[in-house]
Amino acid sequence: MIKLSWRNRGFWDKMKEVSSRGVSHRAAKVSDMKIPDTSSSSLFTPLALGQAPGKIILFGEHAVVYGRPAIAAPVQQVRARAEIWPAEACTVEAADLHRRIPVADASPDDPLARIVRLTCEALARPLPPWRIRIASEIPVASGLGSGAAISAAIVRAMLAAFDAALDDATVSALVYEVEKIHHGSPSGVDNTVVVYERPVWFMRGKPPQPFAVARPIHLLIADTGVSSPTRIAVGDVNKAWEQDPTRYETLFDAVGSVAQRARSAIETGDVAALGPLMDENQRLLAAMGVSSPELEALIRAARAAGAAGAKLSGGGRGGNMIALVDDEHVGLVSRALTAAGAVSVIATTIPPAIVV
């Protein structure tokens, strides 16, 4: 897992305090946060902060690219963050990735520079004299939406620094443009979930639909440690579909049916039904050729330890898998995943939610 270090983690503790007072937890101007002064120089205080969560796909990956539904949810336990500091020119810095990008001179296909330019264009503002420092707890190329989360965090921080606003649909559209650089032909799931920060029912070309979650859903997310760029897996599935469209359309239809049944189970609180549906979805993904020995080993270990169901999440070929667990088995399954080779295990819960 790539974790970019922060010298000012106290700022993020303060963001939690701001959130509890009613200010958006996704972005804040430091001047609004009442952070105690630690220096007489403003150089030691960022202008603004922004953040966004990771995401998991519960059901429907790959088939969603071909018009079938998918269900995805945010992962609040891992987040991407951006700080904005005064500077002489506009740059983006990812220190632990050893990257410093002068935005004005950057290539059009540099994703970090691209999201800065798009945000300025959306606000009709020139490039500002800012140093934008990014950090992420989200593993790269693992199916958790790291690229989308970083882009969203940058947009949120820039909006706070400009004292401007864009609605979620516009922010999601900006992030989607950068997702094209990362993934080639993205479904739109990642940008939607990390921006809206709630479970969504997603179909390509249609507005995302928040939906009711009747009972909490407890999951473990295990990282194989194998980097697997989504662009490659999506491209390979597309090539296979072109060679045998009848077979792959049948697989995509079956995945869409699984997603439909999963939504009904989630809305009615039938959590027990989700485990077999996860297993069915995994069999279909394996038939598409996007599983891997590392994923299969973790999936077997989770099921053997008591998980109600397990599947890969995201592009596959590596990255992460998810396992449905209850309170009795969460510790057993977590230890089994680690013993089977998982480099990290994250426990997350999708809380109950109503749709007004």
Considering the candidates 32, 109, 190, 253, report the single residue annotated as catalytic. 190
The whole-model pTM stands at 0.81
Is the predicted pLDDT of residue 71 greater than 90, yes or no? yes
Which CATH code is given to the segment(s) 9-202? 3.30.230.10
Enumerate residues 6+ apart whose C-beta is below 8 A from 65: 185, 187, 204, 234, 237, 238
Residue 75's pLDDT band, with cuts at 50, 70 and 90, is very high
pLDDT value of position 3:
33
**Domain boundaries, given as residue ranges, for the chain:** 9-202, 212-350
Q: How far out from the chain centre does Cα 26 lie?
A: 14
pLDDT tens digits for range 311-344: 999 999 999 999 999 999 999 999 999 999 999 9
CB neighbours (10 Å) of residue 46? 24
What b-and-e string marks burial along 77-89, b requiring 16 or more CB atoms within 10 Å of the CB? ebbbbbbbbeeee
Q: How far out from the chain centre does Cα 125 lie?
A: 28
The architecture (CATH level 2) of 212-350 comes to 2-Layer Sandwich (3.30)
Residue 25's pLDDT band, with cuts at 50, 70 and 90, is low
Q: Are 162 and 120 in contact (CB under 8 A)?
A: no
Higher confidence at residue 284 or residue 23?
Answer: 284
Q: DSSP 3-state assignment of 139?
A: coil
- The DSSP output letter for 92 is E
pLDDT tens digits for range 191-249: 999 999 999 999 988 888 888 999 999 999 999 999 888 889 999 999 999 999 999 99
Q: Are 216 and 327 in contact (CB under 8 A)?
A: no
| Residue 156 backbone phi and psi in degrees, to 5 | -60, -45
Same fold, 9-202 and 212-350: no
pLDDT value of position 174:
97
190 is known as an active-site residue: yes
Residue 12's pLDDT band, with cuts at 50, 70 and 90, is very low
Question: Which among 11, 59, 16, 19 has a CA at the least distance from the CA of 35?
Answer: 11
In angstroms, the CA 338 to CA 322 distance is: 13
DSSP, residue by residue, 304-318 = HTT-SEEEEESS-SS
For the chain, the C-alpha Rg in angstroms (whole number) is: 20
pLDDT tens digits for range 275-318: 999 999 999 999 999 999 999 999 999 999 999 999 999 999 99
